[in-house]
A and B are shown apart, each in its own frame.
Chain A
Amino acid sequence: MSETVIVAHKLYKTFGEGETEIQALRNVDLEIKRGDFAAIVGPSGSGKTTLLNILCGLDNVSSGDIKVSGRSLQAMSGSELAQFRREHIGLVFQAYNLIPVLTVLENIEYVMLLQNVPVAERKDRVRKFLAELGLEGKENRFPAELSGGQQQRVAIARAMVSHPDIILADEPTANLDSETGGQLLEMMRKFNEELKMTFIFSTHDPQIMERAKRLITLTDGRIVTDELK
Chain B
Amino acid sequence: MLWKLAWRNLWRNRTRTWLSSLVIAIGLVAMIFMDTMMVGMNANMVKNATDSLMGHAQVHALGFRDEQDVKLTINDLEKTLLQLEKHPDLKARSMRIVTQSMLSSAGGGEPVLSLGIDPEEERLLSKFDEAIVEGKYLDSVSSQKIILGWKLADKLDLGLGDRLVLTAADAESGEMVQELFRLSGIFKTGEEQMDASMVLVGRKTLQTMLKLEGRVHQIALRYANLSQDGVPVNPPEKPELSSKNELLLWTELMPSLYMISQMTDLSMAIMGTILFLIIALGITNTLLMGLYERMFEFGVIKSIGTTPWQAARLMLYEAVCLGLISIIVGLIFAVFVTALFANYGIDYTGIEFSGVTFQEKIYPSYKWSRLVLYPFMSMGFTILAALYPAFKLWYMLPVEALRKRKF
Contacts and interface: CB of A to CB of B under 8 A. Distances in A.
Contacts of B14: none
Contacts of B297: 97, 99-100
B8 A53 contact: no
A97 B300 contact: yes
Contact of B300 (A78, A79, A99, A115): A99
A113 B405 contact: no
B309 interface: yes
Contact of B309 (A79, A86, A91): A79
Contacts of A101: 5, 8-9, 12
Interface in A50-103: 53, 56, 58-59, 78-79, 82-83, 85-87, 91, 93, 95, 97, 99-102
Contacts of A91: 303-304
B402 interface: yes
Given A85-B305, A97-B300, A100-B297, A114 B310 contact: yes
B1 A109 contact: yes
Interface string A166-181: 0000000000000000
Nearest to B7: A101
Contacts of B234: none
B304 A86 contact: yes
Nearest to B6: A101
Contacts of A113: 1
A101 B7 CA distance: 9
A158 B304 contact: yes
A37 to B, nearest CB: 21
A187 interface: no
A106 B306 CA distance: 15
Q: Which of A93, A106, A109, A115 has the most CB of B within 10 A?
A: A93
Please classify the interface of chain A as helix (H, G, I), strand (E, B), loop, or mixed, using the class held by over half of its residues. helix
A110 interface: yes
B304 A85 contact: yes
A155 B399 CA distance: 18
A53 B398 CA distance: 10
Interface string A22-53: 00000000000000000000000000000001
B217 interface: no
Given A58-B402, A82-B308, A106 B4 contact: yes
A159 B310 CA distance: 19
B332 interface: no
A59 B299 CA distance: 12
A111 interface: yes
A111 B399 CA distance: 19
A111 to B, nearest CB: 5
B256 interface: no
Contacts of B296: 97
B1 A106 contact: yes
B301 interface: yes
Contacts of A86: 304-306
Contacts of A100: 12, 297
Nearest to B311: A82
Contact of A78 (B5, B9, B308): B308
A110 B1 contact: yes
A110 B304 contact: yes
Contacts of A82: 302, 305-308, 310
A122 to B, nearest CB: 11
Contact of A114 (B12, B305, B397): B305
B313 to A, nearest CB: 12
A159 B9 CA distance: 22
Interface in B246-297: 296-297
Nearest to B296: A97
A78 B302 CA distance: 10
A102 B5 contact: yes
A100 B182 CA distance: 90
A97 B294 CA distance: 12
Contact of B305 (A83, A97, A99, A109): A83
B384 to A, nearest CB: 24
A99 B301 contact: yes
Contact of A95 (B4, B307, B405): B405
A111 B310 CA distance: 12
Interface of A: 53, 56, 58-59, 78-79, 82-83, 85-87, 91, 93, 95, 97, 99-102, 106, 109-111, 113-115, 158-159
Give the 3 A-B CB pairs with smallest separation, nearest first. Answer: A86-B305, A101-B8, A82-B307
8 contacts: A58-B303, A58-B398, A86-B304, A97-B296, A101-B5, A102-B4, A110-B1, A110-B304
